[in-house]
Amino acid sequence: MILTEIGKFVGAKVATAVIFLAVAAGAYWCYQNPDSVRAFGNALKLTLVWIVVAAALPWSSWLFMRPLLDFQAKLSSAHGAAMTSLALIGAYWLFDILFALWLAGWSIQGALSWIVVILGFIAAAAYNFIICESLARNANT
């Protein structure tokens, strides 16, 4: 129908105008608040550095996974072998936490910031576990 075509045309023009105004207002705000933009950029840069280091760290266990598995096989109890794996994953996780806090200047402020950081730490622990277990499975073959 003709009315639906007119509605689509007008809706597209209105949506374009709203998006243009929002982008222009955002650009103006960034122009007026360069310190906030700089602080956001710095926080984003530090976050990306942490993500790259946290993602690469457990892959380093590829270098010593075979000797670690041999050591675990020599242990007399399954509990000791499990504790060895847990110690490795925990060491990676502790490094992730300390590195993030160091990047943040040992100061994280605000409840939302803490929630995001804690969720990041939980994700890092799960990632460490998945990568280390995957490398251990592949080292056995």
Q: What is the pLDDT along the chain (141 residues), one digit of tens a residue?
A: 777 777 777 888 888 888 988 999 888 887 888 888 787 788 888 889 988 988 888 888 776 777 766 666 666 666 666 677 777 788 888 998 898 889 888 888 888 878 888 898 888 888 888 887 877 777 665
Instruction: Tell me the C-alpha distance between 119 and 51, whole Å.
Output: 13
Element (H, E) at 64: none
Domain boundaries, the chain: 1-32, 35-140
Q: Count helices and strands (H / E) in the chain.
A: 5, 0
Instruction: Tell me the C-alpha distance between 29 and 127, whole Å.
Output: 38
Four-point Cα dihedral 24, 25, 27, 28, nearest 10: 120
